[in-house]
Amino acid sequence: MVRSFSLGNYKVGEGRLLVAAGPCVLESLDVALEVAQTAGRICSSLGLDYVFKSSFDKANRTSIHSYRGPGMEKGLNWLAEIKAKTGFPILTDIHEPWQAARVAEVADILQIPAFLCRQTDLLVAAAKTGKVINIKKGQFLSPWDMAQAARKCMEAGNNRIILCERGTTFGYNQLVVDMRSLPIMRSFGYPVMFDGTHSVQMPGGQGERSGGDRRFVLPLVRAAVAVGIDALFLETHPEPDKAKSDGPNMVLLSELEKLLKQVKKLHDVVQTIGYVKLSEEARS
């Protein structure tokens, strides 16, 4: 049985599909607002629940010279303004335990980056805020390992947890998505999210920056939705090739509606036939 919980006016884990979409990193307030308003309008028209996502600081960039974002204070001010102007919930990531309480004053979902999903102090600090916690599965972990990451939040008093698949390291500069991870993580009793854009990333694939191949976002997203997910994570930008982070794997904002229309149709089918559920034997 998958836990469900409220997120503002939304319900997570009860057959609704939550879409967290936005640029990888906050570049400007204008770009962020354009994305939030456009993506929010599309989701509302399709009956999908929308959350704006973006990072105030990308602390794990490939190069020390890469753009990291506006920083926490300015970034949180921008996120607060986006929330006030659009009314949509906010998702953003934290990298250190001391950030949790401050970021929770603005964000509705605290995201734990994949590289940090085993950091006990970070998970506990995030959990203690009472906010929804989106834990990204590390590229180096099996889906079974995520039960322990979630348990750290549970034992800190927070069961409002989403587990997120974002690809697994496959050799050098490549990721592969094992769709088995979605029903495996869902069998733990938590809603699952699929990150359709980081899953096509090529970490460090361009030397001083990561590459990616956005052509494969749609097929992977379609596969994940068909298996059965509770939330979808997408990075999108008006001009991905000019974006300051993760451009190669981001969805063009003008193509987002076409993608989400397919997502909605597939999700509706899953609601009629049911999610994939593992037998007790498969889980043992």
Give CA–CA dist 114/122, Å, rounded: 12
pLDDT at 283 over 80: no
The first and second tokens of residue 121, run together, are 């102090």
Position 34 scores a pLDDT of 98
Listed residue (132, 130, 142, 232) closest to 188, CA to CA: 142
Residue of 281 and 157 predicted with greater confidence: 157
* Fold entry, domain 5-283: TIM Barrel (3.20.20)
- Assess whether pLDDT exceeds 90 at residue 279: no
pLDDT attached to residue 246: 80
Q: What is the 3-state secondary structure (H, E, C) of the chain?
A: CCCCEEECCEEECCCCCEEEEECCECCCHHHHHHHHHHHHHHHHHHCCEEEEECECCCCCCCCCCCCCCCCHHHHHHHHHHHHHHHCCCEEEECCCCCHHHHHHCCCCEEEECHHHCCCHHHHHHHHHCCCEEEEECCCCCCHHHHHHHHHHHHHCCCCCEEEEECCEECCCCCEECCCCHHHHHHCCCCCEEEECCHHHEECCCCCCCCEECHHHHHHHHHHHHHHCCCEEEEEEECCHHHCCCCHHHCEEHHHHHHHHHHHHHHHHHHHHHCCCCCCHHHHC
Query: What pLDDT is recorded for position 61?
Result: 66
Radius of gyration of the chain from its Cα atoms, rounded to whole angstroms: 17
Q: What is the pLDDT of residue 210?
A: 62
Average pLDDT across the chain, whole number: 93
Q: What is the pLDDT of residues 171-228, one digit of tens each?
A: 888 999 999 999 999 999 999 999 999 999 987 655 455 677 899 999 999 999 999 9
Residue 281 in this model has a pLDDT that exceeds 60? no
Side chain identity at 2, as an amino acid letter? V
Pick the more confident residue, 284 or 179: 179
**Residue-wise pLDDT tens digits, 142-172:** 999 999 999 999 999 999 999 999 999 998 8
Tell whether the model's pLDDT for residue 284 goes beyond 50.
no
User: Nearest Cα to 224, choosing from 180, 184, 161, 169?
Assistant: 180
Task: Determine the pLDDT at residue 27.
Answer: 96
pLDDT of residue 202: 86
Rounded Cα–Cα distance for residues 63 and 204 (Å):
9
Closest by alpha carbon to 19, among 276, 267, 247, 270? 267
Q: What is the mean pLDDT of residues 219-242?
A: 96
| Tokens, residue 34 | 């354009």
pLDDT in tens, 59-96: 876 778 778 889 999 999 999 999 999 999 999 999 99
pLDDT score of 136 more than 70? yes
Share of the chain above pLDDT 70, in %: 95
